[in-house]
Amino acid sequence: MVTAATTSAPLIEKHTIGYVPPEDRHGKTRDLFTLWFGGNIAPLPIVTGALGVQMFHLNLVWGIVAILIGHLVGGVLMALHSAQGPQMGIPQMIQSRAQFGSLGALLVVLIAGIMYIGFFASNIVLAGKSLHGVIDSVPVPVGIVIGALGSGIIGIIGYRFIHVLNRIGTWVLGAGIVLGFGYIFTHVQTADFLTRGSFNISGWLATVSLAALWQIAFAPYVSDYSRYLPANVPVAATFWTTYLGTVLGSSLSFIFGAVAVLATPVGMDTMDAVKLATGSIGPLMLVLFLLSVISHNALNLYGAVLSLITLVQTFAYRWIPTAKSRAVLSIIILAACCFAAVGASANFIGHFVDMVLVLLVVLVPWTAINLIDFYAIHKGQYDINSIFKVDGGIYGRYNPQALLAYAIGIAVQIPFMNTPLYVGPISEHINGADLSWLVGLIITSPLYYWLANRDTAYKRRLSTGKLANSL
Q: What is the pLDDT of residue 64?
A: 96
User: pLDDT tens-digit profile of 363-414?
Assistant: 899 999 999 999 999 888 899 888 888 888 888 898 999 999 999 999 999 9
Q: What is the pLDDT of residue 459?
A: 55
Task: For residues 250 and 38, give the distance between their C-alpha atoms in angstroms, rounded to a whole number.
Answer: 9
- CB within 8 Å of 69: residues ≥ 6 apart: 208, 211
Q: What is the C-alpha radius of gyration for the chain, rounded to an integer number of angstroms? A: 22
Residue 467: other Cβ atoms inside 10 A: 12
Chain-centroid distance, C-alpha 241 = 16
Are 81 and 335 in contact, with CB atoms under 8 Å apart? no
Q: First vs last Cα of the chain: how many Å apart?
A: 26
Q: What is the pLDDT of residue 262?
A: 94
In our burial notation (b when 16+ CB lie closer than 10 A, e otherwise), range 30-45 reads: ebbbbbbbbbbbbbbb
Three-class SS of 307-329: HHHHHHHHHCCCCCCCHHHHHHH
Task: For residues 77 and 69, give the distance between their C-alpha atoms in angstroms, rounded to a whole number.
Answer: 13
Amino acid at 455: D
Instruction: Report the residue count for the chain.
Output: 471
Question: What sign has the CA pseudo-torsion 83, 87, 91, 97?
Answer: negative
Q: Give backbone dihedrals phi and psi of 143, rounded to 5 degrees, phi first.
A: -60, -35
Task: For residues 277 and 232, give the distance between their C-alpha atoms in angstroms, rounded to a whole number.
Answer: 47
In our burial notation (b when 16+ CB lie closer than 10 A, e otherwise), range 175-211 reads: ebbeebbebbeeeeeeeebeebbeebebbbbbbbbbb
Closest by CA to 63, choosing from 265, 353, 260, 271, is 260
Torsion angle, alpha carbons of 460, 470, 93, 442, to 10 = 60
User: pLDDT tens-digit profile of 323-370?
Assistant: 777 888 888 988 888 887 777 656 665 666 666 667 778 889 999 999
Q: What is the pLDDT of residue 6?
A: 45
Q: What is the pLDDT of residue 351?
A: 65
- CB within 8 Å of 454: residues ≥ 6 apart: none
| Secondary structure letter of residue 418 according to DSSP | B
Task: For residues 195 and 61, give the distance between their C-alpha atoms in angstroms, rounded to a whole number.
Answer: 9
Q: What is the pLDDT of residue 470?
A: 39
- Using DSSP's 3-state secondary structure scheme, residue 423 falls into strand
- Using DSSP's 3-state secondary structure scheme, residue 337 falls into helix
Task: For residues 229 and 150, give the distance between their C-alpha atoms in angstroms, rounded to a whole number.
Answer: 26
Which positions of the chain have pLDDT values less than 50? 1-7, 467-471
Top CATH class of 28-470 equals mainly alpha
